Amino acid sequence: MDSGSSEYPRATNKFPNGTMIGAFTLTTPGDNPELVLKTVKSTDAGSSWSSLGEVFRGPRATHDMNNGFPFVLNNGRVLYAYRNHDRKTDGTYTFFRISISYSDDEGVNFEYLTTVDERTPSGVNGLWEPFIRYAHDGTTLQIFYSAENSAGDQDSIMRTSTDGGKTWSGPKTISGADINARDGMLGVAPIDNDGALIAVFETTEGEENRFVVSSVTSNDDGKTWGNRQRVFTPPSGKAAGAPQVWNVWGTLVVSFLTDEDRESTTGYANCATKIMTSTDGGNTWGNKFTVFADQSNWSGMSLLDQSHLLVMSGVNGKGALSQNVVLN
């Protein structure tokens, strides 16, 4: 998708002609680097990508923009959700936001649309990693993101929009409300065609100083959530996190980062990207497979067709990469 210092790759649902919009965050070189939220496109199911446009840029010293997530609306408009934080040159945050910009020319030029959530810092209370999808009705938008309550406590939040993302409902906590743990970096997918959903996320629940991957489910298209259970627990002393999930024609696929095969204990600084599958709605998982063996971070996924999935990751020294995965 891009070479060099790019990270957090994501790709959209497709346009009717099959074109995909990809997103990642680029750090420019030099003594005064900028963060740039970029877009790219692919017309061959992610086999190749070409530069498209940019959403927003600003000096890294005073801005923290990342976690870009593109989504194509039914009318062809492209939404681009992202964290949009301000900070001082010493790294102290001064404002947290989850913002959305939009493009009406298929991802080339963007304008600001709205801010979904915002807050001033009070201890550790940041907002992170937005994820957008259509609800079961095919018109209502759902956005999910992570909201910190303290250094050791973070919840998964959901809101809905019925006007194309211009305005959003109040927040609903879908995981973490009744426990003191860091739930975050979530992804959401349908379990079936009747409105059942699964959300996967990293969490510190029941663990000491490490992340594992857990899930919750909804039987009513996100109105209520429960059935919290573990998806993947690495060996003792190792970690797993930053998951995403997709339904590939009835098979759930979860991606995540893990250092379970590494000798070092540097956590997310030395992880591979792996996937697992479930054919019983996320109750059990297996068939673990390594997609990116090199050090890779912040993986995303996108559905290509009834048997192919695109897995993306920021791979150390190589930039944002995508890999076509075939499910047999």
Supply the pLDDT for residue 279. Answer: 98
With a cut of 70, list the residues of the chain below it in pLDDT. 3-4, 265-266
- Domain hosting 29: range is 6-326
Helix (H) or strand (E) holding 86: strand 78-87
Specify if 211 maps to a domain: yes
164 within a domain of the structure (yes/no): yes
pTM over 0.95: yes
C-alpha span between 247 and 250 (Å, rounded) = 6
Contacts of 185 (CB under 8 A, 6+ apart): 128, 129, 146, 201, 202, 241, 242, 243
Query: Is residue 146 included in any domain, yes or no?
Result: yes
Give the domain CATH number at 95: 2.120.10.10
Q: How many domains does the chain have?
A: 1
Tens-digit pLDDT profile for residues 253-293: 999 999 999 987 667 778 999 999 999 999 999 999 999 99
The answer to whether residue 167 is domain-embedded is: yes
Q: How far is CA 144 from CA 126, 159, 214, 298, in A?
A: 14, 7, 16, 16
Within a domain: residue 190? yes
Is residue 308 domain-resident?
Answer: yes
Class of residue 246 by CB neighbours under 10 A (exposed 0-12, middle 13-18, buried 19+): buried
- What are the φ/ψ torsions at residue 273 (nearest 5 degrees)? -100, 125
pLDDT score of 4: 67
User: Residue 36 falls within a domain, yes or no?
Assistant: yes
| Token pair recorded at residue 26 | 């680029």
Beta bridge partners of 146: 128, 156
DSSP H helical segments within 225-283, as ranges? none
Length reported for the chain = 328
47 within some domain: yes
